[in-house]
Amino acid sequence: MLDAGSELSDKNIRILKSWGVARVSIDGKSEDKKGMAADSEDEIISGIKKGLQQKFSDVLDDPVMDEIMRVAGKILQKRSLRGKAQDERP
């Protein structure tokens, strides 16, 4: 999804989350795990909605595209929250 050597920036993380990516595989050395705490459910949903609104911004006046965005949001939320639940298991 990202080119080799790409930095996993906050922006990249938000984009990945907006598409429902709950986990990533990273090659390399681990430097610091600060800031890696799981987001709350509200933050996940908010990030998904914001990302979808940006992606669909040019077509939100079309009722069909609005419905597609709504359904995509539900699917992404379900995937993200399911992934979060799996991450929290011991």
Tell me the domain boundaries of the chain: 38-90
User: Cα 45 to chain center, whole Å?
Assistant: 9
Cα separation, 78 vs 61, in Å, equals 25
pTM: 0.49
**Could you report the per-residue pLDDT of 29-87, keeping only the tens digit for each?**
555 444 444 457 788 888 888 888 888 888 888 999 999 998 998 888 888 877 665 55
Cα separation, 84 vs 43, in Å, equals 12
Q: What's the distance, Cα to Cα, between the start and end of the chain in Å?
A: 28
